[in-house]
Amino acid sequence: MPDPDSGASFRDLTVGAFVDRLASADPVPGGGSASAVAASLGAALVAMVAGLSQGRMRWAEHATLHAEAAETGRRLATRLLELADEDAMAYAAFAAALKLPKETEAEQGARRAAMRAAARRASDVPMETLEACLAVVSAAESLAGRCNTNAASDIGVAALLGEAAAHGAAANVFVNLPSVGDDDYATEMTARAKRIVDDIEELAATAHATIGGGHSRDPLPA
């Protein structure tokens, strides 16, 4: 997992090293971090496609969109890699809480409180990832039919990665909620996650239909 003392981050690893870490028996990084990294790749593709479309006369009417998408893609790619680290640290905190002593009533109470706090953080982080996935897929959908047609498949991959990552992030939200010990919070988070996933699926479907049909679209409203 990331080492807070050394400042090491998953982003500092080679792709091969990260995959090796993911394939190891160590529980971190796990599905939450993998989802964030996958969404980061989708965001990077958004930035790439926007960059390939900028300065081209054929798509000049979408210049504002391309500039915004390029910035958004780079920002989200960075944030999602940070979330990959945060997800691993959140899980590690929960695992540490599970190992707290529980011999006395006081110890049991302290352990229970620590577990609930850690579980809440382990739910909040993938929710942030899920929200970032929505931004990735929204950016991809906005570019579909408004970008360099030679990169149309790349924006489709961006949407696919964002959608898959969203399902992974949502699964990590749901699995941690029962340990939070707050029914109102769990109900709110569950409904919120499901709404975001639904929105992402709708945006991704639009992007894929636009790309598959080879459609061009009008500029977004100013």
Measured between alpha carbons, how far is 82 from 70 in angstroms, rounded to an integer? 19
What is the value of pTM for the model shown?
0.94
Whole-number mean pLDDT of the chain?
A: 94
Determine contact, residues 177/190, Cβ cutoff 8 Å. yes
Measured between alpha carbons, how far is 113 from 47 in angstroms, rounded to an integer? 42
Residues of the chain short of pLDDT 70, as ranges, are 1-7
- Domain 29-213 part of CATH 3.40.50.300: no
Q: What is the pLDDT of residues 101-153, one digit of tens each?
A: 999 999 999 999 999 999 999 999 999 999 999 999 999 999 999 999 999 99
Q: Is the peptide bond before 29 cis (omega within 30 degrees of 0)?
A: yes
Q: How many CB atoms lie within 10 A of CB 71?
A: 13
Measured between alpha carbons, how far is 186 from 8 in angstroms, rounded to an integer? 32
pLDDT of res. 6? 42
Determine contact, residues 133/39, Cβ cutoff 8 Å. yes
Burial-class residue 145 by CB neighbours within 10 Å (0-12, 13-18, 19+).
Answer: buried
Burial-class residue 130 by CB neighbours within 10 Å (0-12, 13-18, 19+).
Answer: buried
pLDDT of res. 2? 59
Helix (H, G, I), strand (E, B) or coil at 13: coil
Extents of the domains making up the chain: 29-213
User: What φ, ψ does residue 216 adopt, rounded to 5°?
Assistant: -100, 145
Burial-class residue 5 by CB neighbours within 10 Å (0-12, 13-18, 19+).
Answer: exposed
pLDDT of res. 222? 76
H helix runs in the chain, sequence order: 15-23, 31-53, 63-98, 105-143, 152-176, 183-213
